[in-house]
C-alpha cells in the first residue's frame, strides 16, 4: 500500500512538472510574437457577427483625365460624320454615346465617374491621387474611334483619323510618369473591337487589355494571364417572358452577315447546309434598326440560336442569344468566353465542332432529339447568368469586368518587380505570358 502511494505521488509530481514547463514556455513564446494588432490586417479572415467572410480591401484605381479628343471628342466626331452635329459643341456632357456592340468603354467610363456612394459592392474604388493607385485606367474610346468613318471615304488631309488618334494617345501616355514607371504594366486599356488600337498594340501590350477575344492578337500581345475577356454589348432587347417552348416555334435561328473572313468563312458553308431545312430560319443581314427588330423577334421565338465564328472567333450574337433565352449553338472552335471562372457555358450552350456542323443533316437531327425538359434547363440557367452580360445591370458586366481586373493585381506586381531585376537579353522567340491548354489535340465539343 505504501509502495502504491509512493508511485501515485511521483506520477502527480511528473504531471505538475510538465504543466509548469508548458506554462513557462507558452508565456515566453507569446511575449516574443507580435499581437494581432501588430500584424497586417490582410492576414486575418475573422468572420463578422453573421458568420460571413470579410470584405477584402478594394483595388484602388486612378482614371486618367484624358484630353477630350480621346473620349467625348470621339463621340463628337462620330455624330458630325453622320450628320447629327454640324460643328463641335461647347458642353460635352450633352453628347450621347452611340449604341453599338462594343459599348463597354462607355459603361466603364461612366461607372468610374459615379460617386463612390453609388458604387456599393464594386471590387474597385476610384482614387483621385495617382500616388495612391494600384492600377491606372485609360478611358479611351478606342472601339468607337475605329468606326467613326466606317464605310465612309475620307479625303486625304481632312476628316477624322483613327490612326492619328492612336498615335496621339501613345504620345500622351509616354509622357506620363506613371506609365513610364512600370512600362504600362499596371494600366488597363479597353480594346474590345478586335481591330481597336491595332496601330499601337506592340507599344501598349504590357497593359491589361480588355478584349472580346484574342483573334487578332499575337501570343506576345495578349493572353489569359495578362488580359480580360469581356462580353459584347447585346444589341437585341432582353426577353422578359417566362421560360418555355410554346411560343418558340422555330427550331434554329440565325440572322447576320453571311460572308466573313478567316474562321468566319464557316458561315457561308452553314448557309448552304441549313437554308433548305424545315423549321430553320437563316438569313443574311447587316446591322440596322430594322434588322435588329427582326433579329429580336427571331431569337425570342426560337428554341436554338446559331452562333458561328465571325471575322474573329467571337461575335455579338452569342450574348444576344443569352439575353433572349435562345439556347446558343456555338460553331467556333477557337472561341474564348468571358467570366469562365464563375460561368460554365456547357450548362446553357451547345458546342459543335465546325467539321461536324457542316455534315448535311447532322445539326438539325441533333437539335430535334433534345427534349423539352433539357431546353427548359438551359433556359433556367441562362436566366440565372444573363446579368453577367448586361452592362446596365448594377450587378452585371461592369462589376464582373472590374472583378477580373482586380484579380490581375498580384501578377502585375510580380512581373513589375521581376522586370526591374532581370538582365536585358536578346531572345530569339517572344517571351509570352500565356497559358497553353488542350495541347493534346483532343476535341471536347460535340
Give the C-alpha separation, 129 to 62, whole Å: 7
CA angle, residues 198, 182, 214, in degrees to nearest 5: 30
Q: Would the pLDDT of 38 be above 60? A: no
Q: For position 106, what pLDDT does the model report?
A: 97
> What is the pLDDT averaged over residues 345-368?
96
Listed ranges 4-8, 77-81, 405-409; the one with the highest mean pLDDT: 405-409
Q: Read off the pLDDT of residues 79-137 as tens digits, 9 standing for 90 and up.
A: 988 887 878 888 887 889 999 999 999 999 999 999 999 998 999 999 999 999 999 99
Work out the mean pLDDT of the chain and round it to a whole number.
84
Q: For position 343, what pLDDT does the model report?
A: 97
Query: In the chain, what is the straight-line distance between the N-terminal and C-terminal CA atoms, in Å?
Result: 84
Cβ atoms of residues 325 and 304 within 8 Å? no
Give the C-alpha separation, 335 to 350, whole Å: 13
Q: Which residue has the higher pLDDT, 247 or 441?
A: 247
Q: Which fold has domain 250-388?
A: Rossmann fold (3.40.50)
Helix or strand holding residue 136 (H, E): strand 135-137
Q: Read off the pLDDT of residues 276-319 as tens digits, 9 standing for 90 and up.
A: 999 999 998 777 788 889 999 999 999 999 999 877 788 889 99
Bridge partners of 306? 329
Classify strands 327-331 and 302-308 as parallel, antiparallel or unpaired: parallel
Q: Would the pLDDT of 161 be above 90? A: yes
Q: For position 444, what pLDDT does the model report?
A: 47
Beta-carbon neighbour count of residue 87 at 10 Å? 6
Q: Read off the pLDDT of residues 131-155 as tens digits, 9 standing for 90 and up.
A: 999 999 999 999 999 999 875 555 5
Q: Per-residue confidence at 9, pLDDT binned at 50, 70, 90?
A: low
Residue extents of the structural domains in the chain: 59-229, 250-388
Q: Would the pLDDT of 432 be above 80? A: no
Give the C-alpha separation, 296 to 313, whole Å: 22
Listed ranges 38-42, 104-108, 306-310, 418-422; the one with the highest mean pLDDT: 104-108
**What are the φ/ψ torsions at residue 125 (nearest 5 degrees)?**
-130, 140
| Strand, coil or helix: 306 | strand
| Strand, coil or helix: 253 | strand
| Strand, coil or helix: 160 | coil
pTM here?
A: 0.82
Amino acid at each position: 500500500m505504501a509502495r502504491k502511494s509512493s508511485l501515485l505521488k511521483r506520477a502527480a509530481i511528473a504531471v505538475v512538472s510538465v504543466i509548469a514547463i508548458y506554462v513557462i514556455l507558452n508565456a515566453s513564446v507569446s511575449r516574443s510574437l507580435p499581437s494581432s494588432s501588430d500584424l497586417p490586417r490582410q492576414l486575418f479572415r475573422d468572420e463578422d457577427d453573421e458568420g460571413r467572410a470579410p470584405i477584402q480591401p478594394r483595388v484602388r484605381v486612378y482614371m486618367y483625365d484624358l484630353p477630350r479628343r480621346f473620349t467625348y471628342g470621339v463621340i463628337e466626331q462620330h455624330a458630325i460624320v453622320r450628320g447629327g452635329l454640324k460643328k463641335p459643341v461647347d458642353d460635352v456632357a450633352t453628347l450621347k454615346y452611340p449604341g453599338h456592340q462594343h459599348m463597354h468603354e462607355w459603361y466603364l467610363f461612366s461607372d468610374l465617374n459615379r460617386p463612390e456612394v453609388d458604387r456599393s459592392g464594386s471590387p474597385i474604388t476610384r482614387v483621385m491621387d495617382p500616388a495612391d493607385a494600384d492600377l491606372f485606367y485609360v478611358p479611351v474610346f478606342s472601339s468607337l474611334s475605329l468606326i467613326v468613318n466606317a464605310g465612309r471615304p475620307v479625303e486625304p488631309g481632312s476628316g477624322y483619323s483613327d490612326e492619328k488618334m492612336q498615335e496621339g494617345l501613345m504620345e500622351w501616355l509616354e509622357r506620363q510618369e506613371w506609365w513610364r514607371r512600370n512600362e504600362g504594366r499596371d494600366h488597363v486599356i479597353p480594346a474590345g473591337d478586335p481591330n481597336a488600337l491595332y496601330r499601337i498594340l506592340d507599344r501598349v501590350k504590357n497593359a491589361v487589355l480588355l478584349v472580346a477575344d484574342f483573334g487578332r492578337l499575337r501570343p506576345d500581345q495578349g493572353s489569359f494571364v495578362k488580359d480580360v475577356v469581356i462580353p459584347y454589348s447585346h444589341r437585341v432587347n432582353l426577353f422578359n417572358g417566362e421560360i418555355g417552348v410554346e411560343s418558340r416555334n422555330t427550331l434554329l435561328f440565325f440572322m447576320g452577315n453571311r460572308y466573313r473572313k478567316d474562321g468566319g468563312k464557316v458561315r457561308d458553308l452553314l448557309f448552304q447546309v441549313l437554308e433548305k431545312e424545315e423549321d430553320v430560319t437563316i438569313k443574311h443581314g447587316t446591322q440596322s434598326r430594322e434588322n435588329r427588330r427582326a433579329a429580336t423577334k427571331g431569337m425570342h421565338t426560337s428554341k436554338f440560336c446559331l452562333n458561328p465564328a465571325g471575322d474573329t472567333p467571337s461575335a455579338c450574337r452569342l450574348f444576344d442569344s443569352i439575353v433572349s433565352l435562345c439556347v446558343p449553338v456555338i460553331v467556333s472552335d477557337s472561341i474564348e468566353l468571358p467570366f469562365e471562372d464563375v460561368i460554365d457555358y456547357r450548362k446553357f450552350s451547345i458546342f459543335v465542332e465546325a467539321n461536324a456542323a457542316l455534315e448535311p443533316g447532322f445539326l438539325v437531327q441533333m437539335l430535334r432529339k433534345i427534349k423539352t425538359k433539357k431546353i427548359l434547363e438551359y433556359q433556367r440557367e441562362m436566366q440565372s447568368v444573363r446579368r453577367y452580360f448586361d452592362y446596365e445591370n448594377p450587378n452585371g458586366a461592369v462589376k464582373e469586368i472590374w472583378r477580373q481586373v482586380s484579380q490581375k493585381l498580384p501578377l502585375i506586381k510580380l512581373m513589375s518587380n521581376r522586370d526591374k531585376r532581370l538582365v536585358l537579353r536578346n531572345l530569339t522567340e517572344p517571351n509570352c505570358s500565356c497559358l497553353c491548354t488542350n495541347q493534346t489535340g483532343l476535341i471536347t465539343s460535340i
